Amino acid sequence: MCFPSLAQDYVGAPFSLETLCVQHKAATYLIHSGSRMLNTGIYKDMILIVDASQKLVHGSMVVAEVGSLGDCTCTHSWA
């Protein structure tokens, strides 16, 4: 004899990362962090969502692709 699932009556709304994380679709892209970036909260093999339309302000995190191999670096701005 089986018991019914406790969640069988739960129906949630569709879940989309695009609606949660993307504000400017034309200026948003994904970048792979190949290594851990100290003191940033970014760890090896994370996927970063980057919005290039954001204004640079003092203390912003800057994620940049370096070179033709797709390596990325991350730093805080001093602007």
Beta-bridge mates of residue 75: 62
For the stretch 59-78, pLDDT in tens is 888 877 777 766 666 666 66
Find the mean pLDDT for residues 14-35: 86
- Say how far apart CA 52 and CA 24 lie, in whole Å: 9
What pLDDT band is residue 27 in, cutting at 50, 70 and 90?
Answer: very high
Q: Identify the CA nearest to 75 among candidates 45, 50, 39, 48.
A: 39
- pLDDT at position 24, please? 92
Which residue from 29, 77, 18 is spatially nearest to 52, judged by alpha carbons? 29
**Digit-coded pLDDT (tens) for 39-55:** 778 888 888 888 889 88
